Structure 1
Amino acid sequence: MGDYIGDLRKFVGTRPIIMCGANVILINSQNEILLHHRTDRDWWGLPGGAMELGESLEETARREVFEEVGLKCGELKLFNIYSGEKQYYKYPDGNEVYNVTATYLCRDYIGKISVDLKEGRDARFFSLDRIPSNLSYTIKGTIYEFLERSQKGNL
């Protein structure tokens, strides 16, 4: 698999681009969700990332979860798709993106959490009443929507 975004950056520099990707809300048997602590910022987020050429969104979600936290996803259920102004992100290196992100729910996974230290400091499950306050701003809305739908029993 290549590095599509890296190759694209050679042509456009740090200017804003539209970046498609996927992330996953992994839910354990205690109804806790897995959050991934990023290395580039002191933020917790969902495991996920950018789509590579030829991948489906589901393949992106599975690959990114495995690369970042070492878990293999089984069934993925589409939760929502996020795009627009709230999905703007400027990386510490100056690269700017407008994310279009498919978020999936997954209760069916195998493996043991193993964090890729190039991308994350930690990954662990949090109870829904103990979500850290330092969430990545591009996924805050996703987490809040998940919490609201969970409370209403709409999942």
Structure 2
Amino acid sequence: MDYISSLRKYIGTQPIIMCGANVIIINEENEILLHHRTDRDWWGLPGGAMELGESMEETARREVLEEINIECLELELFNVYSGEQLYYKYPDGNEVYNVTVTYLCTSYKGEIKVEKSEGRDAKFYKIDDIPKNISAPVLPIISEYIKKSQNGILKTNF
């Protein structure tokens, strides 16, 4: 049983602080990979909750591999997100205030293969073609990425 599930046995659905990581994977065409979730009709970034004893980088790598079968070779810290914007209530009623560490990844290997218990699809999108139905806690992250990309602040190396 994972850490969050075991914690929920004691506290029910009340709000908790949940630490996790996600990854903005960028291909050579400067497209970003989005993951279509199963719990809601939302697109987001591959990632998830930290397990006991893991580093944030280990969390990011594990979650990406579990969800979409991609191995992140190099990770670069993009930003850390927290606060009211990252509050989320899951369909089962569980409430969280996320603390999310987001990484950029341009060096990866593997073929996309979506774990069907966690996602419906995963594919790369050009910035102008990103779907409108983005996961609420991921929206501020993707918005910042788009803004920095369009302003030429981000420099990706291939």
Q: Tell me the equivalent position of 1:59.
A: 58
Cα offset for 1:18? 0.3
Q: Tell me the equivalent position of 1:12.
A: 11
Are 2:134 and 1:108 equivalent residues in the alignment? no
The one-letter amino acid paired with 2:11 is: V
C-alpha offsets along residues 12-45 of structure 1, whole Å, 9 cap, x if unaligned? 0000000000000000000000000000000000
Q: Separation in 2 of the partners of 1:96 and 1:147?
A: 28
Q: Tell me the equivalent position of 2:147.
A: 148
Q: Separation in 2 of the partners of 1:53 and 1:140?
A: 27
Q: Separation in 2 of the partners of 1:87 and 1:33?
A: 21
Are 2:129 and 1:130 equivalent residues in the alignment? yes
Aligned residues: 154
Cα offset for 1:154? 1.2
Cα offset for 1:101? 0.1
Q: Separation in 2 of the partners of 1:62 and 1:150?
A: 23
Structure 2 unaligned blocks of 5 or more: none
SS of 2:79's equivalent in the other structure is strand
TM-score, normalisation: structure 2? 0.96
Q: Separation in 2 of the partners of 1:141 and 1:50?
A: 18
Structure 1 unaligned blocks of 5 or more: none
Cα offset for 1:82? 0.4
Q: Tell me the equivalent position of 1:43.
A: 42
Query: In percent, how many aligned pairs have the same letter?
Result: 68
Q: Tell me the equivalent position of 2:69.
A: 70
Q: Separation in 2 of the partners of 1:119 and 1:16?
A: 22
Runs of 4+ in 1 over 6 A off after TM superposition: none
Q: Separation in 2 of the partners of 1:14 and 1:69?
A: 28
SS of 2:60's equivalent in the other structure is helix
The CA RMSD measured in Å over matched residues stands at 0.6
C-alpha offsets along residues 56-86 of structure 1, whole Å, 9 cap, x if unaligned? 0000000000000000001100000000011
Q: Separation in 1 of the partners of 2:13 and 2:142?
A: 28
The one-letter amino acid paired with 1:94 is: G
Q: Separation in 2 of the partners of 1:138 and 1:100?
A: 10
Q: Separation in 2 of the partners of 1:113 and 1:127?
A: 17
